[in-house]
Structure 1
Amino acid sequence: MFSVPEAREELAGLLPVLTEIVAVRADAAELAASLDGGTPTGLGGLPELKAAQARLDDLMTRVQETGAELKGFAPLLVDFPAELDGVPVLLCWLEGDDGLHWYHRADIGFAGRRPLP
């Protein structure tokens, strides 16, 4: 369980990892499309795709080792288990958010996303 300040601190430390996930994810998508008969890419071929996939696995593991939960990949969605007023919640960061400003009840999910009080 994270407090809001703890989750914000953890997110700040994870931002470089999350930024790298976005970049490597884009490279992997381009490489996969190229290998599937799409437009050739200067990024490489199958060995580079395998390397990108391995790097993504490593980066996603690093996120989960913090206690955060990686819930979405495209776009990235990271939840931090917490409690607000005695209710289990997930503090929620979505790719593009400038910080940790949202939560949703654990039993409702992303559809119940609300601004943090």
Structure 2
Amino acid sequence: MDVLLNVFVGLHIIGIASLLGGFLTQMKAMGAGTARFSPAMLHGALTMLVTGVALVGLHQAQGHGVNNLKIGVKLAVLVVILGLVYVKRDEEKVEKALFGAVGGLTVGNVFIAVLWN
């Protein structure tokens, strides 16, 4: 079961990397006002959602305690990110504030995961 848990942790990190990497590669375009949400950002957010749910289920199946408040906050932030990226995925240009909000929420979600005990 530990191997499966570690596989899902790895996939979760790949999802974060895809979402955050998509944001970081568009930083220059964001400054020029031509940034857009790439398919990798949408797929990364979806990967984070699926693997995050799987991780919670696996932790609970092993009898480990789960901080439901932390998971709820992370899920809410991810749903906002996913909603923004999904709705604006086909637009040629995304507003700077909206694009920056997705990046900020993504970084915030990482810090919630790491710092909230």
TM-score, normalised to structure 2's length? 0.36
Higher strand share: 1
TM-score, normalised to structure 1's length? 0.36
Q: Which has the higher contact order (CA 8 A, sep 6+)?
A: 2
Higher helix share: 2
